[in-house]
Structure 1
C-alpha cells in the first residue's frame, strides 16, 4: 500500500488544522507534534510559496494514482496473483471492471483528487479574500504566481474528475462541493471540461513563460479532443508543446513516490503489463517492460512483465509531452480532412524520437495507425482508457465499468447521489 504524507493542503489543514496520522504513516524522534497547521497562519504573502508547493504535491499524488489505476482498468495493466507480491483484491476488481463502492484503491485516488482540487480552489479563495499583498513588484509577482497555480491546477483537477469518475461506471460525472454542508450533484464530464478549460484560459493569461503557455495549450487540446471537438483540439495544439520542450511531469521524493514504481514496478508489482508491450518494447528505444518475478514454485511461471520506465521511486511521470501534442495534430489531419502527408510527418517525428523507422509513402495513415501509435507512445500515462472509450475498443464487456465509480464515502456524504 502506498502511504501519503500530504504536503498538499486540502481539507486536512485549512479548517483550523487536522491530524496527518493514518494508514500506518508515522514520524518518530521529533521534537513535539508537527502534524497541525492553523489555517489562518497561511493567510500572508510570505506563505504563497508554501501554498503553491502544497498544490503541486496534490497534483503528484492525484496524477500517478490515476495513471496506474486507469491503465489497470484499461487493457494496459493486469492483476495477476501469480506475480510475486501481487495480493490486493482491490486491484483485481479494477482489472475486471467490477469495482465495488468500498474499493479502497479507488477511494484513495478519489480522495487525493478532491484534496488536490480543494487546495487549488482554496488558494484562489485566499488570494481573492484573505491575503494582503504588498504594493510593490514582489507583491505583484506573488499574486500572479498564486493565481496562475490556483487556476492551472484547479483546471487539471476538474479534468481528472471529468475523465475518470462516474456515478454509474458508464457516463462521466463527479460532484464539486464548495460547501461541505451543501454538496453538489454530480456534474457531467462536458461541464467539468468546460470549467477546466475556463480555468486554463485564465491561467494562460497569467503564465510567466512561453513554455507554460504551451503546456496549457497542449492540455486544452487534450481536453477538447476527449470532449469530441477535434477542430478545437487542433487549434490549441498548433500552439502547444514543440520538440525542444521537456515534458510537464509529476515530481516525486522519498516521501511521495511514483505510484508506477510502488504499484507496478520494482517497488511492488501489483499491476503487471499486457504481453503486447513486449513486442512494442523491441521496437521502442525506451525500455518499456521487464520481467516480473512469479510468486513461487508450483504456480503459473509466466513469463510476466512490469513497466520498466520508472526504475527509481523518484522518477518523474510525464503528464504532457510534445509527442502527444503532435499526435493530436495528426489525429485532426486523419479525421477532419487534413493532409495525409502532414499526419505522416507528425507521426514520423514521434517515431524518430523513439528510434523507429519512418513510415513509407505507401503505409496507411488511418485510425488503426493512430490508435497503435498512441498505445505505444502514451504507455503508462493513463490515457489508454479514454482512447478505448472514444474509439469503441474497450476490451471488457458492455456491462463492465469504464469509469471509476464515485466511492461509497462520497455517496454517504452527498444526498444528491
Structure 2
C-alpha cells in the first residue's frame, strides 16, 4: 500500500478510536478533562503552530527509519553485502536481493519503501500546511518554530526523499530503469526525481541562508552535489529531467561550497529508531553478510546458489567478486574504514561489537587477530574453529560499522572530498585541491598512507572502502565504467535487477501505473 493510502487509513482508524473514547467517557474510571495524546491525534490538531517543532521532529525520526532501511537493502543488491551462509534461518527476501531476481511481493523492499514514502509524505504535508492552511500561522506567538525553519525542514527532507527514490528504486517491470511513483502518480523516471530533489534543495538552501547557518548551507550543498553527480553520471534512457552535462556542472559548483574537514550531517538513531544495519547486516542478525569473494559463500545454501553471478573467465569459471575480508587481512589498518565483526556459532561477536583494532588487542590471538583468522578460515561454507570453545567458531563475517544506536552520516566530509576528486578527474573544477590531494586527505583521516597517483579506477576503490556499508556501492556499479556490475544479465529468462523494484503493495493501488 502506498504511504498516501496508509496515512488515510491511519487517520480513519484514529477517528474510530476517538469515537470509542467518547462512548466510554461516562465511565468513572476515565478522566475526561485531559489533553488528547499527541500520538493519537488526528491530522487537524497539527495545524496548531505550537506543534511545528513536533512535526519537524517526527519527520527526522522517519528519516532515520528510512535511511538505514533503504541503504542496507541497496548494499544487498550490490556486491557490498550478500545473503549469509546461514540463510536457512533468515528471510528469503534477502536471497532475492543477492541473486538479483526480485519477486513483486518482496516484503523487505515493501517495508523500506513504505517508510520512505511516509517520510516523503510527512515532509510534503508540512510544506502544504505552511502554504495552504491558514490556521498554521507561524507568525503566531505560540509557534514553536519559525517559518524559515519549517520551510527548511519540509524542503530538505522532501528533497532527500526524492533523492532516495531516484537513486535506489526502479520500475516494477523493468529492473534496469530507475524511478518511482509519488502517491498515485504515473511512473516518474529518475532524472525527473533528481530534478524535483534539486529544486527542493535550492529552496532549502535559501532558508538556510536566511537563518545564517553556515554549516547547514555546507551540508545542503554537499548532498546536492552528490545527487547532481549521480544524476550526471548515470546512463539514463529517459530524456528530460536533471542529468548529463548540466548536472555535472552543477555538482562541481555545489561541491566547492560543501563540507570542510571534520564536518558531517548525521542521521540519528536511538532506542525508538534502531539502525537497520545492526539487525539485518550485523551482530543483531546477519541476514546480509560482508562480501568475501568466495563462490561457496554466495547467495543461498540451496541448489545452484550462485547461478546469477558473473564469472571472470568462461573457461576457468573464476568468480568476479570483491573481498573485504581479504582487504583487511592484507592490511589491518583498513579496519579503520572497513570495520568487520566476526559472528560466531552462538550469534555473538568476537572482541565486542565492531571488531575495531582497539577492541581486539586483549584477545588470546593477539594483535594479528584478523590475519590469523583469515589464514585459518576455509571458505567452504562450514564454521571454522579459532580456539578451544564453540564460542570461538567463525560462522560469518558482518559489518562492524553500525551498532543498534550508531548514528550514520547522511554525508561526511570524506565523501564530499571523494565527490570533488571524481569531478576533478572528470575535468570539472571542484575546488582548490587536486584529486590526489583530496583522496590523500581522506586516507590520512583513517591512518592510511598517501597514494602517489590517482585515476578513476583507483578512485572507485577508495570510494568502495571509504563508503563501506553506506549504500553507495549500488549507484557506483551502475554509473562508473571502471566498476563492473556483478550479476549476469539474465537468469532463467529473467533480467537481473539493478534497482530495488517497486513491489505489489505500491503498484496495485495505483491506477496510473
Match in the other structure for 1:47: 51
Alignment of 1:313-352 (within 5 A): 313-336=404-427, 342-352=434-444
**Which of 36, 40, 43 is the aligned partner of 2:40?**
36
Counterparts of 2:67 and 2:85 in 1: how far apart (Å)? 25
Determine the C-alpha separation between the residues in 1 that align with 2:15 and 2:265: 31
Partner of 1:172: 178
Q: How far apart are residue 416 of structure 1 and its match?
A: 2.1
Query: What is the CA–CA distance in structure 2 between the aligned matches of 1:230 and 1:295, rounded to whole Å?
Result: 49
Correspondence list, 1:51-62, <5 A? 51-62=55-66
CA contact (8 A) 1:91 1:270 kept: yes
Structure 1 counterpart of 2:129: 126
The 1-side partners of 2:197 and 2:75 are apart by: 23
Moved more, 349-358 or 248-257: 248-257
- Contact map agreement 2:139 2:146 (CA 8 A) in 1: no
Match of 1:220 in 2: 224
| Equivalent residue, structure 1, for 2:194 | 193
Instruction: Choose 186-195 or 253-262, whichever is displaced more.
Output: 253-262
1:7-406 matches, cutoff 5 A: 17=14, 36-82=40-86, 86-130=89-133, 131-133=135-137, 135=139, 139=143, 141-167=145-171, 168-177=174-183, 183-207=184-208, 208=211, 209-228=213-232, 229-245=247-263, 247-275=264-292, 276-281=323-328, 282-284=332-334, 285-286=336-337, 288-294=339-345, 300-301=382-383, 303=394, 304-311=396-403, 313-336=404-427, 342-360=434-452, 363=453, 365-392=454-481, 393-398=484-489, 399-406=495-502
1:170 is paired with a residue of what secondary structure? strand
CA–CA distance in 2 between the matches of 1:337 and 1:154? 28
Q: Say which one has the larger Rg.
A: 2
Q: CA deviation at 1:341?
A: 7.4
Alpha-carbon distance in 1 for matches of 2:8, 2:164: 18
Runs (4+) off by over 3 Å = 9-20, 31-35, 134-141, 337-341
Aligned pair in 2 of structure 1 residues 158, 250: CA closer, same or farther (>3 Å)? same
Distance 1:18 1:348, change over 3 A: farther
**Structure 1 CA distance for aligned equivalents of residues 175 and 205 of structure 2:** 33
Which runs of 5 or more structure 2 residues have no equivalent in the other structure?
18-29, 233-246, 293-322, 348-379, 385-393, 490-494
Given the superposition, is the C-alpha separation of residues 132 and 255 from structure 1 closer, same or farther in structure 2, using an over 3 Å criterion? closer
Normalising by structure 2, we get a TM-score of 0.71
Structure 1 unaligned regions, length at least 5: 1-5, 21-30, 178-182
Deviations for 1:234-283, whole angstroms, at most 9, x for unmatched residues? 111000011031x2121111121000111111111111101222244423
CA contact (8 A) 1:11 1:118 kept: no
Please give the secondary structure, in 2, of the residue aligned with 1:413: coil
Name the SS for the 2:177 alignment partner.
coil
C-alpha distance 141-54 of structure 1, shift in aligned 2 (>3 A) = closer
Counterpart residue number, 2:21: none
Q: How far off is 1:13 after superposition?
A: 5.2
Decide whether the 8 Å contact of 2:414 with 2:442 is kept in 1.
yes
The answer to whether the 8 A contact 1:75-1:274 is kept is yes
Give, in angstroms, the shift of residue 138 of structure 1. 7.3
The aligned counterpart of 1:416 is 512
Larger displacement relative to structure 2 (10-19 or 104-113): 10-19
SS in 1 for 2:508: helix
Does the 8 Å CA contact 1:64/1:250 hold for their aligned counterparts?
no
CA apart distance, 1:333: 1.3
Q: Which residue of 2 aligns with 1:25?
A: none
